[in-house]
Amino acid sequence: MIRTWKNAFHNRNVYIDFEYEDLKDKKTDSFLEIYNSRCAPLQFMVDSSNTLKRDIAKTWGFKKMRSCYSLEVTKDDLISHENRTIEICEANSEDEIYENFSKIYFDYYRNSHEAINPVSASFNEFKEILPEKIYFSREGGMSFAFIEKNEIAYVYSDNLKIAEDFFRAVAEKMFCDYDTIFFEADDVDECAMRLKNIFSSGVKDVFETWIYDLEE
């Protein structure tokens, strides 16, 4: 049986999951039936190594919309580079600047998700999922990263020319306290991909988002 559910943060699409056994004996288009009954695009996530499920998606008219890279990196993975020296400042949720950064990132996050599944959460709801610590710099523009222990949760820069220098400085600072850092980078998130680019390896998993939408 194909499983369906909704996501309160992104409530336009219907999320689904399925196995080959759910479809092999069906004489009708199960995805079309769900699409018509729910009057909404269908969305599912699959490990990029699952070729069977990916082939099923292609066959039934799904389109791959996003790849999400999950990384766990060490200092040895950091690509050597003569980057500019950037001073890292720190703020937390009690600081006024934290609110400003949160609003900037909320707008950025909404824009990067608009074509896949728009954000339906309010700013206050969204802010609840953000880590309380931020590293930031105003050198060459505004760049910041939300940090949770050894996780780089979310990143942003309004100047991509210096983004990698900032992210490298953040990573170097974190490696002073942790042997490993982990983060995720969506290929529709240009800032996160700049973070990924400063490491030579460390990709553990790649998950793809596929969308079924007859109005596309």
- Same domain for 96 and 18, yes or no, is no
pLDDT of 85 reads 82
Which residue range forms the structural domain that includes residue 50? 3-68+206-212
The verdict on 104 and 59 lying in the same domain is: no
Specify whether 77 is located in the same domain as 60. Answer: no
Provide the pLDDT for residue 156. 98
Spatial neighbors of 149 by CB under 8 A, at least 6 apart, are 178
Are residues 138 and 173 both part of a single domain? Answer: yes
Instruction: Look at residue 196 in the predicted model and tell me its pLDDT.
Output: 98
121 shares its domain with 164: yes
Question: Is the same domain home to 102 and 181?
Answer: yes
- CA 160 remoteness from chain centre: 18
> What secondary structure does DSSP assign to 54-121, as a single string?
HHHHHHTT-EEEEEEEEEEEEGGGBPP--PPP-PPEEEETTSHHHHHHHHHHHHHHHHHHTTTS---S
128 and 58 housed in the same domain? no
Q: Are residues 82 and 55 in the same domain?
A: no
Whether residue 123 sits in one domain with residue 19: no
Residues 29 and 136 reside in one and the same domain: no
Over its length of 216 residues, how does the chain's per-residue pLDDT go in tens digits? 899 999 999 999 999 999 888 787 777 789 999 999 999 999 999 999 999 999 999 999 999 999 999 999 999 999 987 767 899 999 999 999 999 999 999 999 999 999 999 999 999 999 999 999 999 999 999 999 999 999 999 999 999 999 999 999 999 999 999 999 999 999 999 999 999 999 999 999 999 999 999 986
Our count of domains for the chain comes to 2
In this predicted structure, what is the pLDDT of residue 192? 98
Are 113 and 64 contained in the same domain? no
Residues 87 and 20 in one domain: no
